[in-house]
Amino acid sequence: MKTALVQFDIAWENKSVNFRKVESLISECRKNIDLIILPEMFNTGFSMNPAELSEKPGSETFVWMRRMACESNAAICGSYIVEDGGTYHNRWTFVSPENEVYFYDKRHLFSPGGEDRLFTKGRERVVFTYKGFRICPNICYDLRFPVWSRNRNDYDLLINSANWPTRRQDVWNILLKARAIENQCYVAGVNRTGIDGSGIKYTGESVILGPGGETIASDTSGNEGIIYGEISQSELSDFRRKFPVLNDGDDFTINS
């Protein structure tokens, strides 16, 4: 599966500017891309202003994502703020050209930034299949909680869409690699660049990792751009067959 990570400087609370930015970057994408991955809150930045920025399900940003999936002939995914049932969610959304749609609400809300006071946490761990890959989505802070993303032999690709600050960049790099190794899976971590409306700096360092923690593709420049990488189901299966660590994992239950 050919994958493109979109690393960019998200305009603060300005959806139209961010839509245009992503459209411009995607227009430069190589042909025959299967999956385009965007950062966390890609249309607004990591804003704690859900009352003004949230959308109902199926509204403006979802319509835009569906259009971009059709125009690029690739699935597209990333998170944005959704108001659903009277509560706000940091909702990761996946839309394919075939109109396959999947959602995941961020489980671990970033309490140091007040996210937990404004948003409702997700209660469902999500895994779905696309192009033969079983995909498990995470959002930013979820990366710090390995039990939530523990592979029970049920997924092949872990995606993390993030706004991960420069001052904790080493943590980002280490945890992404740890998740790949411990779960014997591909990991795609997509982070933003630039400085947000709260004055927080981001360096990007988006990356695609293999099941042994090896780097398939990355961008450490701190600039906007597309990171390309191809992942192989046959190579993953071969790796797991030769070193079947997942078979020795513990059974457990996560309380909602």
pLDDT band, very low/low/confident/very high, at 36 (cuts 50, 70, 90): very high
Q: How far apart are CA 94 and CA 159, in angstroms?
A: 11
Domain count, the chain: 1
Q: How far apart are CA 213 and CA 20, in angstroms?
A: 34
Q: Looking at residue 73, which CATH number applies to its domain?
A: 3.60.110.10
Alpha carbon of 231 to those of 157, 180, 186, 215: distances in Å?
Answer: 9, 13, 7, 11
Give the type of residue at 74.
A
In a domain, 68, yes or no: yes
| Alpha helix segments (H runs only) across the chain | 15-27, 50-53, 60-72, 115-118, 169-183, 233-242
Catalytic site residue 60? no
In a domain, 52, yes or no: yes
Which of 90-121 are b and which e, b meaning 16 or more Cβ less than 10 Å from the residue's Cβ?
A: bbbbbbbbeeebbbbbbbbbbeebebeebbbe
pTM here is: 0.97
Return the structure tokens found at 117: 């006071």
Quick check: 3 and 228 in contact, CB under 8 A?
Answer: yes
Reduced to 3 DSSP states, what percent helix, strand and coil does the chain have, rounded to the nearest 5? 30, 30, 40
Q: Which range has the worst mean pLDDT, 25-39, 160-174, 208-222?
A: 25-39
In a domain, 253, yes or no: no
In a domain, 55, yes or no: yes
Quick check: 79 and 139 in contact, CB under 8 A?
Answer: yes
- What DSSP state is assigned to residue 252? -
Catalytic site residue 140? yes
Task: Point out the catalytic residue in the list 40, 55, 205, 224.
Answer: 40
Task: Point out the catalytic residue in the list 140, 177, 205, 224.
Answer: 140
pLDDT-above-90 percentage for the chain: 95
Query: Looking at residue 31, what is its pLDDT?
Result: 80
Q: Is it the case that residue 256 has pLDDT exceeding 80?
A: no
- From the list 64, 78, 62, the residue with the least C-alpha distance to 8 is 78
In a domain, 147, yes or no: yes
In a domain, 226, yes or no: yes
Task: Point out the catalytic residue in the list 21, 55, 77, 106.
Answer: 106
Catalytic site residue 106? yes
Query: Looking at residue 10, what is its pLDDT?
Result: 98
In a domain, 255, yes or no: no
In a domain, 96, yes or no: yes
pLDDT tens track for 82-138: 999 999 999 999 999 999 999 999 999 999 999 999 999 999 999 999 999 999 999
Q: Is it the case that residue 142 has pLDDT exceeding 80?
A: yes
Query: Looking at residue 171, what is its pLDDT?
Result: 98
Interacting residues of 203 by C-beta distance below 8 A, sequence separation 6+: 166, 169, 191, 193, 220, 222
- Domain with 235, as residue range(s), is 2-248
Query: Looking at residue 4, what is its pLDDT?
Result: 97
Query: Looking at residue 250, what is its pLDDT?
Result: 87
Average pLDDT over residues 192-207: 98
Burial group, residue 191, by CB count within 10 angstroms (0-12, 13-18, 19+): buried
pLDDT-above-70 percentage for the chain: 100
- What DSSP state is assigned to residue 97? T
